[in-house]
Amino acid sequence: MSELHELSLKALAKALQSKAVSARETSEHFLKRAKAHTTLKPAANPFQAPQHLGDPSHSSGAFVSFNEAFTLELADQSDLRIAQGTARRLEGVPIAHKDIFVTQHFPTTAGSKMLDGYCSPFDATVVTQLQDEGMVNLGKLNCDEFAMGSANENSAWGPVKNPWDNTRVAGGSSGGSAAAVALGLCPAATGTDTGGSIRQPASFCGITGIKPTYGRASRYGMIAYASSLDQAGPMAKTAEDCALLLSAMCGGDPDRDSTSLDLPKEDFSRDLHEPIKGLRIGIPKEFFSDGLHAEVRQSIELALKELEALGAKLVPIELPKTELSIPVYYILAPAEASSNLSRFDGVKFGYRTKEYKDLDELYRKTRTEGFGEEVKKRIMIGTYVLSHGYYDAYYLQAQKIRRMISNDFQEAFKNCDLIAGPVTPQVAWKIGEQNTDPLANYLADIFTLPASLAGLPAMSMPCGLGASNMPVGLQLIGNYLGESRLLNVAHQFQMATDWHQKVPGASK
């Protein structure tokens, strides 16, 4: 049998069910790998926020907390169920969670000093659903502070390094999740996608990730950035693995999440092996503008030819409001963030400034010291566009254009079954390279934002290597509730190619 970290999630689940390996052995294997790539101070209290030790170059920056005793307790419970013949579908398979999902047995910081030492009294619905399928929680993964960023450089616990080149970014905000899977530190991870934060790091790190239709996965226990955009999704090596995870993660939760679609659980693996002959794939001309780097364009075009060889038909389409998605997103998302983050004031939980004379100073100093620069910038933008005299000029107009972007997709879907194109205009850039130009970071989301604003399902899968041998991802966008079709196309592509099997040297 291959090394455990080289197996797909499906293969690992099969090995556990057949008792070829135990859940405890599996968890110990991945914990050892994860800790070898982490320089965190071991704390007697597992709910303390991480402190980095030693040379940070020895750390991937992916993991930010462990609770080994709890992880091994879950693994032992899985071994017992397997022995008793009551194993669930993903019994004993390890997973790690983005540090934006609250958890009872691990600290939850959302990558921010503001939540230093915070321990939730409950688990997020997504965490509970995956644990109910038998999955074992290995720990929490680094992310941009409150999920705000395109590079995972905004975390209070330091940046996440790209496994293919540790001088480059892993992508954001789910960079810790993408890097951990690519490095083989865990077979799967959860992520969240507000404007591309699953798809973009998946593309940069050479793994597969999917953002389902808005409302498919419960947002209960997922710390909010922009409530009308945030959506949870899985990140793994293959489309088949993502289908298994998505089947566990999705399901109606209307009693606890008012944005949850009241739909029953669904088996997203059901159509994986269906041929894609005759499938119409829309190719938006706006996704192939002059801003698309040559090596990314080449990989995408070759991937589209492969889909044609599998029987799909490429159809030219237009998404004319694509270029407006960036200004619309960076009005709407900060506006919602300014409201959502108003609760972090040092009164009830989280960070509190040490010295203050009155309540006003408590609020002001706590938020100034607790929030990072990017978060403060977005709060200020959001507060501005919601203020008297600017609401109609900015926020209301952005909402109108958001509807137009959604309508563009519906017009396009009259002529195609799904849409394909690049995830990002370029491969992962150097750490710190774009810190002096925030607009460059924002422009990296130009191809992912439209689907997020429309609430559509979208995914990234590896399709090539670009400049400096860095991964390139192909984006697939479906119509509402069209996750099964996306996963079907991705699986057929991965059966015909081997890009998803390529790993960075650091994972060996």
Residues catalogued as catalytic: 98, 173, 197
344 in Cβ contact with 370 (< 8 Å): yes
Query: What residues form DSSP beta bridges with 94?
Result: 136
340 in Cβ contact with 224 (< 8 Å): yes
| Nearest residue to 246 via CA among 261, 266, 274 | 266
Q: What is the maximal distance between C-alpha atoms in the chain?
A: 70
Burial class (CB in 10 A: 0-12, 13-18, 19+), 393: exposed
Q: What angle is formed at CA 300 by the lines to CA 244 and CA 211, rounded to 5 degrees?
A: 30
Q: Letter for the amino acid at 81?
A: R
Whose tokens are 């998803």? That residue is 500
499 in Cβ contact with 469 (< 8 Å): no
- What single DSSP character describes residue 101? B
In whole angstroms, what is the distance from residue 25 CA to residue 136 CA?
12
Query: What residues form DSSP beta bridges with 140?
Result: 65, 97
405 in Cβ contact with 321 (< 8 Å): yes
